[in-house]
Amino acid sequence: MRRILVALKRAIDFNVRVRVRPDGKGVVTDGVKMSTNPFDEIALEEALRIRERGGADEVVAISIGPDEAQQQLRNALAMGADRAILVRTDQAIEPPAIARLLLAFVERESPMLVILGKQAIDDDSNQTGQMLAALWQRPQATFASKLELTDSVARVTREVDAGLETIEVDLPAVVTTDLRLNEPRYIKLPDIMKAKKKPLDVTDLESLGVETASQLRIVSLESPPQRKKGVMVKDAAELVAALRQKGLI
C-alpha cells in the first residue's frame, strides 16, 4: 500500500500571546488555546492532495503528546486523514527523541513518504525531519514550496537563501514543508462527524522502548523588553541628533 505518514505537533495557537511563567522555567499553557502546528497542517493538506490525485492510498496522522492531542488528531481525521496514532506522554520530548519515536512507526507502517512541517512555532528547532531522515537512512527534501511525486521519485522545489531550488529524491523519503506550499482546507461539520468513526490508536510512550531522556535543561526564560514609544522628528538633522543621543551612531 502506498502510505503517507504525517507528523503533527500540538502547539500554542499562533494567535495567542505567549506569556512566560512566573518561575521563568516555561510558558503559560493552562487555559491557553492549543492548535495543530501550522507547518504540520500544511504537511497534512499536501498529503491529502497527493492521495486525492491518486498518488497514495492512505494518509496516517501521528502525534506525540498528552491525551489532549487527540483533539488535533481528530481535526486531522476531519480534514481527511484515514487514521491517526497518538503516542501518549505528558513529558516534553526533544527533537532527537521525537525522530526516534517516529522511526519506530516508520518501520511499522512502511510509508513511501513522511511529511512534516519544517519547524514548530513553539520552539523553532527545525531538526526533527532531518534527524528522522538520518536515522531512517533515506533522502530528505526540506523547506518544500512545491511537491510532485512519480512512482519512485519526489521532485521538490525548495526555498533557499538565493531563491528557489528544485531537487529530486528517491522514495521513500522525508519532506518538510514551508508556508507557501499550500493553504489548508477548512473543516466542515459533516467531516467532523465522520471523523468520530475513524480509527485513532493510542500508544503509551513507555511501551515503545525508545530512549527519550532530555539532553537540554532550561535555565530561564524571560519576556523580551517592552518596546519603547517612538518619537517624531522634523528633518534628517534632528534624526541624526536623536540617534547620536541614544548612542546608535
Crossing angle for the helix pair 38-52 and 70-79, to the nearest 10 degrees: 30
Q: What's the whole-model pTM score?
A: 0.86
Decide: 158 and 142 in contact? Cβ < 8 Å: yes
Cell of 206: 513507555
Q: Is the pLDDT of residue 27 over 90?
A: no
**Residues of the chain above pLDDT 70, percent:** 100
Query: Higher-confidence residue: 21 or 95?
Result: 95
pLDDT band, very low/low/confident/very high, at 103 (cuts 50, 70, 90): very high
Cα of 57 vs its chain's centroid, Å? 23
pLDDT of residue 204: 93
3-state helix, strand, coil split of the chain in percent (to 5) is 30, 30, 40
Please choose, from the candidates 16, 28, 9, the residue with its C-alpha nearest in 3D space to the C-alpha of residue 94.
Answer: 9
- pLDDT for residue 139: 97
- Residue 20 has a pLDDT of 84
- Name the residue ranges covered by the structural domains of the chain: 3-245
Give the three cell numbers for residue 29: 499553557
- What integer pLDDT is reported at residue 44 of this predicted model? 98
Q: Residue 4 burial by CB count (10 A; 0-12/13-18/19+): exposed, middle or buried?
A: buried
Q: Determine the Cα–Cα distance for residues 186 and 233; give it in Å rounded to an integer.
A: 47
pLDDT for 218-249, tens place per residue?
Answer: 788 888 888 778 878 889 988 888 888 888 88
pLDDT value, residue 215? 83
pLDDT of residue 21: 83
Q: Is 78 exposed, middle or buried (0-12, 13-18, 19+ CB in 10 A)?
A: buried
pLDDT recorded at residue 127: 93
Alpha carbon distance 11, 33 (integer Å): 9
- pLDDT bucket at 81, cuts 50 / 70 / 90: very high
pLDDT tens profile 123-154: 888 999 999 999 999 999 999 999 999 889 99
* Domain 3-245 architecture: 3-Layer(aba) Sandwich (3.40)
30-61 pLDDT, tens digit per residue, is 888 889 999 999 999 999 999 999 999 999 99
